[in-house]
Amino acid sequence: MTGFGKSGSHGCFRMTNWDALRLGRMVKVGTPVTFSPAGR
């Protein structure tokens, strides 16, 4: 798998756990999110 960080998973973001936790602390509830098809 390729994606952000060095670790991979079958999750949507393919982020390391510590990066996902950091991102979760940076965004507020209600922040708009856009989902795009793979490869974009």
pLDDT, position 6: 55
The CA angle 5-9-7, to the nearest 5 degrees, is 30
* In contact, 1 and 8? CB cutoff 8 Å: yes
- What is residue 18's predicted lDDT score, i.e. its pLDDT? 85
pLDDT at 1: 47
pTM here?
0.46
pLDDT digits (tens, 9 = 90+) for 1-40: 455 555 555 555 667 788 888 988 999 999 998 877 766 5
